[in-house]
Amino acid sequence: MNRRDSAAGVLVAAAVVVWVFGSTPAGAELLAGVRGTALLVTALAAAAALVSGAWREPADPVALRAPAALGLVAVLVAIVTVLTASATALAVLVLLVLALWALATLRHATTRWR
Per-residue pLDDT of the chain (114 residues; tens, 9 = 90+): 678 888 889 999 999 999 998 888 877 777 788 999 999 999 999 999 888 766 666 666 776 788 888 989 999 999 999 999 999 999 999 999 999 988 888 887 777 654
- Which H/E stretch holds residue 29? helix 25-30
Task: Give this prediction's pTM.
Answer: 0.85
Domain region containing 45: 3-110
Give the integer Cα–Cα distance in Å for 81 and 51: 24
Radius of gyration of the chain (CA): 15
Is residue 85 within 8 A of residue 33, CB to CB? The reply is yes
Question: Total domain count for the chain?
Answer: 1
3-state secondary structure of 112: coil
